[in-house]
């Protein structure tokens, strides 16, 4: 089986306005990078829409309706908060972004793909059950995790997150969801201010490793090797979803960790080892942050190479 890339052109049409860091050029750079000859054997397909039923596993009906009611017409913009922008195509893009992860879950469970990378936007890990924030509308990873549990009957589904910002939304949604696990490494005291080490969950299992600003490769790898990966092994997921944010990179302008491109490849391979042991290799990765475009492009190449076994 080959790895699968899921994306959709409308994700480029989610317009966040001038000089917004979460811009369409990010996704253009990712897709351009994955056109290189080394990715010739990467399967490719368009992301479908998420259904209302799939969204409502993770989000309140009132919030889902609020998002679609707030989508503006023409060239107007609507702000859910100072950072989170809606344009005319944002609702469609958000449905495709969440739908990509659902389709990725279906593909790996049905053995149609070895693993999946969802190159989509808007990102999702800050979106809580009843609120969007931090550039995020729907929580793509959480929608996929709850789909895997509820539609496919998996007993243990894990989401791991190496974005430099804590995925408060994923933690919020999965906190009291039985059979789920969420783990994150992130910069301490950075946006959104959640993710303390003592935040350990309710019915869902939470593992947080905040890292001081200036931490580099050694601290990043130690967080995963020493804390997160051992906890993940104990949880023994039947499916692993990766919130793949690349803004911990040393070149990224929005944070101050000093992670390298090579670190993302290393961590992807370590996560694949866990998935091979407990989850029949079933991994779905979804793009989150990463705001230095050359660093994002290089990091995604390293991540997808690892997914493909290169």
Would you name the residues annotated as active-site residues? 126
Q: What's the first-to-final CA gap in the chain, in angstroms?
A: 14
Helix axes 61-70, 90-109, angle to 10 degrees: 130
**Burial readout 250-260 (b: 16 or more C-beta within 10 A, e: otherwise):** bbbebbbbbbb
For residue 90, what are the CA distances in angstroms to 15, 35, 85, 96, 278?
7, 25, 8, 10, 37
Angle at 287 between CA 53 and CA 214, to 5 degrees: 130
204 Ramachandran zone, left/alpha/beta (phi>0; psi -120 to 50): beta
Which residues on adjacent β-strands are paired with residue 206? 182
Kind of pairing between the strands at 4-7 and 205-211? unpaired
Q: How many residues does the chain have?
A: 310
Distance separating alpha carbons of residues 133 and 123, to the nearest angstrom: 10
Which residues on adjacent β-strands are paired with residue 43? 4
Of 255, 14, 265, give the one whose Cα is nearest residue 123: 14
Of 275, 273, 283, give the one whose Cα is nearest residue 304: 283
Q: Cβ(51)–Cβ(100) under 8 Å?
A: no
């Amino acid at each position: 089986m080959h790895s699968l890339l899921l994306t959709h052109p409308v994700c480029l049409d989610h317009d966040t306005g001038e000089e917004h860091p979460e811009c369409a050029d990010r996704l253009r750079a990712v897709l351009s990078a994955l056109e290189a000859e080394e990715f010739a054997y990467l399967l490719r397909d368009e992301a479908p829409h998420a259904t209302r039923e799939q969204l409502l596993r993770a989000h309140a009906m009132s919030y889902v309706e609020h998002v679609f009611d707030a989508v503006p017409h023409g060239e107007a913009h609507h702000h859910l908060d100072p950072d989170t922008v809606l344009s005319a195509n944002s609702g469609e893009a958000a449905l495709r972004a969440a739908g990509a992860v659902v389709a990725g879950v279906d593909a790996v469970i049905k053995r149609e793909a070895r693993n999946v990378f969802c190159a989509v936007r808007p990102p999702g890990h800050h979106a809580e059950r009843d609120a969007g924030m931090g550039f995020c509308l729907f929580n793509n990873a959480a929608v996929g995790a709850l789909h895997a549990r509820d539609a496919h009957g998996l007993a243990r589904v894990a989401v791991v997150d190496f974005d430099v910002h804590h995925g408060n939304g994923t933690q919020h949604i999965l906190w009291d969801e039985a059979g789920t696990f969420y783990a994150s490494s992130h910069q301490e005291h950075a946006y959104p201010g959640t993710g303390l080490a003592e935040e350990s969950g309710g019915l869902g299992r939470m593992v947080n490793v905040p890292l001081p600003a200036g931490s580099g490769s050694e601290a990043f790898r130690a967080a995963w090797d020493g804390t997160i990966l051992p906890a993940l092994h104990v949880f023994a997921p039947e499916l692993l979803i990766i919130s793949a944010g690349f803004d911990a990179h040393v070149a990224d302008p929005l944070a101050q960790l000093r992670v390298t491109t090579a670190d993302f490849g290393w961590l992807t391979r370590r996560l694949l080892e866990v998935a091979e042991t407990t989850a029949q290799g079933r991994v779905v990765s979804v793009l989150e942050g990463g705001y230095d475009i050359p660093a994002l492009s290089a990091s995604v190449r390293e991540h997808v190479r690892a997914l493909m076994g290169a």
